[in-house]
Structure 1
Amino acid sequence: MLSTLYTTSIRLYQAALGVASLFHPKARLAVQGRRGWMEQINAKLADNSAPIAWFHAASLGEFEQGRPVMEAFRQQYPGYTILLTFFSPSGYEVRKNYAGADFVVYLPFDTPENARQFVQRVNPAIAFFIKYEFWYHYLRELKARNIPVISFSAIFRPDQIFFKPYGGFYRSFLRFFDHILVQNPQSVELLKGIGVTQVTLAGDTRFDRVKQVADARKDIPVARLFKDEKPLLVVGSAWQADLDVLIPFLNRFDQPLKVIIAPHEIHDDEIERWRSQLPGQTVRFSEAAHQVTLAPFQHLIIDNVGMLSSLYQYGEFAYIGGAFGKGLHNILEAATFRMPLFFGPNYGKFQEAVDLAKAGAAFPVSDSASLETAFRTLYEDSAALAKASFTSGDYVTRNTGATSKVMEVVKGLVISRS
């Protein structure tokens, strides 16, 4: 009965997305990308004779979590073909040409017939689901075919449906996994409490990924020249709600400070509005190369994508956007460069933000006044700044290594099934 309701909800979602595709570009991409999915897969796999390792990510953030494991798997098992699937266009459209996978496709919607046809055609030797992905028919089909399935970088909370008295159907999803590698001890205890014991505390593979990114950082001469050896605040993945807090603070702040602002999405009208509201002189990145000197400018607004992770290397402070809206963006890319972090109040679902706030390296703020108070405290106290900065970077260093734990589980499953 519940499986029928689940399947009906999937079909209704698919239908609703079809209607939405008439009006919304993102929904249109999701629908068009799945059209003729079996023909796409047949064409891609036509000449493949190697065993397939299937990795599935919901979107771009989960892809970044999974990337260290995909790359480690490629290195340790070069004889496998890697198939990467995405649920969301925001992952697929950005990473459809990812060189670390042999094939990249959308995941067909989780109906019984789609799952059966997909798993039968792909016939993976092993499957990986990253963080939050729990699809009933796919997991059931993989289990029925005795294909090992791993979930990694998973995190569980008491308010999730798995742990409710009425969550029995959803608890069955978790028993389809051969192994679940989780981020924190609370997740281990929650799973054991419902009888799921094939669990390992491994941590979060994002720590390994941000270390890779930091090690591969690029020098950005414009940012270096703009900094001009002055204290620098890097604002990453900013939305309008973040600038509503930042702009009043920056207009009041009367000490030497350079600010780089990287919007989460690039909109010219929004950037120009911010420029008109910021104090002092502001330059866009696309204009900066034409300036004789960048020293007079107080604010640099990034009007391109792809360089934020490297920009953090120049900062003494970081503000991460998103937490005045639906949720906080990636804070680890900034933390790895050893700086205190500031962000809005909606951060409770992000373990690293909770940990860093408790440790005194991150400072949640509720408005412009609380941001100013927290920022001035560190700006004016070099010892407090040094302590917060060290704690931030040390947290990332101490938590690397999840990928190797995932690969230990993989080794056991590959050997046992070979």
Structure 2
Amino acid sequence: MLRILYRTLWYIAAPLAVARLLVRSRHERGYIEHIVERFGYTASYAARNKAPLIWIHAVSLGETRAAEPLILAMLEEHPDAQILITHMTLAGRMMSEKLFGARVLRCYLPYDMCGPVRRFLRAWRPTLGIVLETEVWPTLIDECRYAGIPLVLTNARMSERSYQRAARFSSVVRHVFGGFSRVLAQSAADAQRLSALGAHDVVVLGNLKFDIVRAAELSDQGRAWHAAIGQRPVWVAGSTHEGEEALVLDAYRQLHIADALLVLVPRHPQRFDAVAELVKCTGLKLARRSQWPKTSMQASASRPVAIDPLPDDVQVLLGDSMGEMSAYYVAADVAFIGGSLLPIGGQNLIEACAIGVPVVIGPHTFNFEQVCFDAITAGAALRVRDPATLAQAVHTVLTNRVYRVTMGAAGAAFAARHRGATRRTLDELEALLPAPRQRISDSS
């Protein structure tokens, strides 16, 4: 009965989803493009190509970044195979284009309806399907099982909160999770919950996000920004969500460091203008990354050219750019990771830790509970409750250089200790993949 209800609801939801895309396309044209792919209509790969196809689903920007080390390794180890990356969001697709260009194929994953999913699978005929983290689509799993396509849940995580919700529908959920050929979990706690929900052949391999390699040009860009900002203390609030920016700005007003610069980076680009208006309404002096620096960044062989200094009276720099989070962290003295002051579940703190930036997180990190617990235990992160305690923590880090350096070093060491999930994942997938022509080194 639940399966019938689920599939019926999709016939109601799909037109509403398309309408939402059309509304959002008024601000970003990309949302209206490739809509037919969301219903499984795409040029047939199987009819034109004999090369095996490895399909990786990375729903949005974060999952695409998480998949980066795995995809790069597959491109090197399996040059005779083609790789298809599917997304559900424009941000994920744009990040895929930036990271991999024409080296991979890409399209949107169809809505979870029988007809669209079957058309998608018939057109592409993947040798192997890999879905990232929490992407559990019942119809997709069923159709892959019927088509004989092995489907692996990779870098899998399952929070206690999500587990409790899913466990209420144990019989249906066990059927869904039992449809995965393998489950490669981030942690022992994730593996235990996934097994309890019916997943089989579950192994713990760690988190792929620890293996993401920061682009050298982003490091150069961040250092150039830091030099252009000058000696001012820099606090980055990254990946913030709606309602959270107001709390961060409240904390900034309680910081009581006269020359501190807040770099505010909203998670979703469609909110950039709204956040800019919010900052202006507080009376704080705003600059936008899209308008600074006016001198273009052109790196020489040794270092980027000098760029325009940020005016001293700017209090908040709005990070209205895509794909530059690493550069913001390089320019920072302390980083607050968004999605955690409100019950959203948090965002990834690994990138900031790996750069060696002290990290502050809010109370709501249930989507990243294990990695947050490990970072706090390692001395790389601090947890706060509200804007007042956020201001206190940031003040402590910015005014105590020894503490700041110690936390940053702890973060870098923490990230280094947990690398290696890419190699372990490739080894686990080997039996399901085309025979490799060459292998990447264990150090990758």
Is TM > 0.5 for Structure 1 vs Structure 2? yes
147-156 or 96-105: which moved more? 96-105
The correspondence for 2:312, drawn from 296, 302, 315, is 296
Which residue number in structure 1 is paired with residue 335 of structure 2? 318
- Following the alignment from structure 2 to structure 1, what is the Cα–Cα distance between the partners of residues 431 and 387? 52
1:235 partner SS: strand
Is structure 2 residue 89 aligned with structure 1 residue 88? yes
The aligned counterpart of 1:12 is 12
Q: TM-score, normalised by structure 1?
A: 0.85
Correspondence for 1:136: 138
Q: Are 1:317 and 1:341, in contact at CA under 8 Å, matched by a contact in 2? A: yes
Measured on the aligned residues, the alpha-carbon RMSD in Å equals 3.3
Asked if the contact 1:251–1:278 (Cα under 8 Å) also holds between the matched residues in 2, the reply is no
Contact 1:162 1:170 in 2 (8 A): no
Match of 1:259 among 242, 261, 268: 261
Give the Å deviation of 1:220.
Answer: 4.4
Q: What do residues 45-65 of structure 1 show as CA deviations (whole Å, max 9, x unaligned)?
A: 653221111111222211111
CA separation in 1, counterparts of 2:261 and 2:146?
55
Deviations 1:316-372 (A, max 9, x none): 211222323434333222111212212333222213233323444322333332122
Instruction: Tell which deviates more after alignment, 30-39 or 303-312.
Output: 30-39
Partner of 2:441: none
Aligned residue in 1 for 2:52: 51
> 1:228 is matched with which residue?
230
Report the Cα distance in structure 1 between the residues aligned to 2:139 and 2:415, rounded to whole angstroms. 36
CA distance in structure 2 between the aligned counterparts of 1:32 and 1:219, rounded to whole angstroms = 31
Change in Cα spacing, 1:319 to 1:12, as seen in structure 2 (3 Å) is same
Q: Is the 8 A contact 2:53 2:84 kept in 1?
A: yes
Please say which of residues 315-324 and 352-361 is displaced more in the overlay: 352-361
Task: Measure how far apart 1:198 and its partner are.
Answer: 0.4
Q: Say which SS state the counterpart of residue 85 (structure 1) adopts.
A: strand
Partner deviation per Cα, 1:240-285 (whole Å, 9 max, x = no partner): 6444334344344444754251431364564365257466x65444
Tell me whether 1:384 sits opposite 2:389 in the alignment: no
Aligned residue among 149, 163, 184 for 2:187: 184
Q: Percent identity?
A: 22
- C-alpha separation between the residues in 1 aligned to 2:283 and 2:362? 20
For 1:288-367, list aligned pairs within 5 A: 288-289=293-294, 293-294=309-310, 296-297=312-313, 299=315, 300-325=317-342, 326-351=344-369, 352-367=371-386
Extract unaligned runs of 5+ from structure 2.
296-306, 437-444
8 Å Cα contact 1:232/1:257 also seen in 2: no
CA distance in 1, matches of 2:401, 2:97: 45
Equivalent in the alignment of 1:402: 421
How has the CA–CA distance of structure 1 residues 5 and 251 changed in structure 2, closer, same or farther, with 3 Å as cutoff?
Answer: closer
Letter in 2 for 1:388: M
The answer as to 2:276 corresponding to 1:271 is yes
Q: Distance in 2 between matches of 1:244 and 1:19?
A: 29
Paired letter, 1:261: V
Contact 1:222 1:289 in 2 (8 A): no
**Mapped contact 1:54–1:124 kept (Cα < 8 A):** yes
SS in 2 for 1:181: strand
**Closer/same/farther in 2, CA of residues 6 and 416 from structure 1, 3 Å limit:** farther
Structure 1's unaligned 5+ residue stretches are none
Residue 206 of structure 1 is matched in structure 2 by 209
1:149 equivalent in alignment to 2:151: yes
TM-score by length of 2: 0.81
Change (3 A) 1:39 1:178: closer
- Secondary structure at the counterpart of residue 348 of structure 2: coil
CA deviation after TM superposition for structure 1 residue 73, in Å: 1.0
Deviations 1:62-85 (A, max 9, x none): 111112111111110010111111
Equivalent residue in structure 2 for 1:112, among 97, 114, 133: 114
Contact persistence 1:235–1:259 (CA under 8 A)? no
Moved more, 350-359 or 263-272: 263-272
Alignment-derived partner of residue 442 in structure 2: none
Matched, 1:102 2:104: yes
Distance change in 2, residues 1:106/1:22 (3 Å): closer
Distance 1:9 1:269, change over 3 A: closer
Q: How does 1:121-132 map to 2 (within 5 A)?
A: 121-132=123-134
Aligned 8 A contact 1:84 1:101 in 2? no
Change (3 A) 1:87 1:375: closer
Q: Which has the higher contact order (CA 8 A, sep 6+)?
A: 2
Aligned amino acid, residue 181 of structure 1: L
Q: Is the 8 A contact 2:347 2:365 kept in 1?
A: no
Tell me how many residue pairs correspond in the alignment.
414
* Bigger mean CA offset, 132-141 vs 238-247: 238-247
Do the aligned partners of residues 99 and 124 (structure 1) sit closer, same or farther apart at CA in structure 2, a change above 3 Å counting? same
The answer to whether the 8 Å contact 2:22/2:31 transfers is: no
3-state SS of paired residue (1:217)? helix
CA distance in 2, matches of 1:128, 1:28: 29
- One-letter amino acid of the structure 2 residue matched with residue 182 of structure 1: A
- SS of the aligned residue for 2:366 comes to coil
Q: Classify 1:257/1:180 alpha carbon distance in 2 versus 1 (closer, same or farther; 3 Å).
A: farther
CA distance in 2, matches of 1:165, 1:237: 32
Indicate conservation of the 8 Å contact 1:161/1:170, yes or no.
no
